[in-house]
Amino acid sequence: MNYAEFQKEIKITQKSICRDFFCQNHGSIRIKKEKTVLRNLEKIFGAALKISNQKGFQAMSMRDLSIETGLSTGAMYAYFSGKEDLLNMMQHHKRTMAMRIVEKYMKEETDPLIRLKTMLRVHLYISEAMQPWFYFSYMEAKNINKKQRNQAVESSRITENIIKEIILEGQKAGLFKDHDADMSASIIKAMLQEWYLKRKKYAKRQISVDRYADFLESIIMSFIRI
């Protein structure tokens, strides 16, 4: 699988992210006309990501968001109750959407070697398709409320635990070397984060997500495979 094939199957776009959000949260959104909701969610999420990247979410005011979106403050309150609510719901949606996609691909594989390769690629491809969201989630994790922060930490641990369990399965099957599974999973997670946190660096070097995935896979396989 390459990134083009992944995108063709999953079709992650800003509009699809908003549609998924609406499907998961339509009960809490006061506007019920889907076309209007999707149009405004695209504006709100796009503006929040853009302004956060420029000066940080906490420095962003509702007036900044209103100017960038072209929506009145009152119109935006139909979707969220305030800045903290917007931050929390964006963080939560990024985590849940990404995990659903990971689970979709992982449940189809049983071989530890294939499962590890699949996990690496799917995580990288999701973070490429949702790069502004992944970067935003990482950078703004310190600003969410305690409950959401604990969920973010738990989500990160879930990813590491998936990798750890695959490594343990591979060791049990005699496919992987007897490395420390916890430490290995932690380092692999850091290398996955490197892609979306340092995206501009790799773009300048004209390194595609497929090239990064190939290189990362070769490094990890040479380290872990017997």
pLDDT in tens, 37-91: 899 999 999 999 999 988 888 889 999 999 999 999 988 988 888 888 888 888 8
Task: Using pLDDT thresholds of 50, 70 and 90, give the confidence band for residue 145.
Answer: low
Q: Note the pLDDT of residue 42.
A: 94
Q: Note the pLDDT of residue 140.
A: 80
- How far is 97 from 160, CA to CA, in rounded Å? 17
The residue extents of the domains of the chain are 3-224
The one-letter amino acid at 69: T
What does the CA dihedral 222, 98, 129, 41 come to, rounded to 10 degrees?
-170
Q: Note the pLDDT of residue 214.
A: 97
The position carrying tokens 């997670």 is 189
Rounded average pLDDT over 180-190: 95
Q: Note the pLDDT of residue 120.
A: 95
- Domain 3-224 CATH superfamily: Tetracycline Repressor, domain 2 (1.10.357.10)
Q: Which of 175-185 are b and which e, b meaning 16 or more Cβ less than 10 Å from the residue's Cβ?
A: bbeeeebeebb
Q: Note the pLDDT of residue 28.
A: 78
- Tell which residue, 208, 166, 222, has the closest CA to residue 189: 166
With beta carbons less than 8 A apart as the criterion, state whether 116 and 164 touch: no
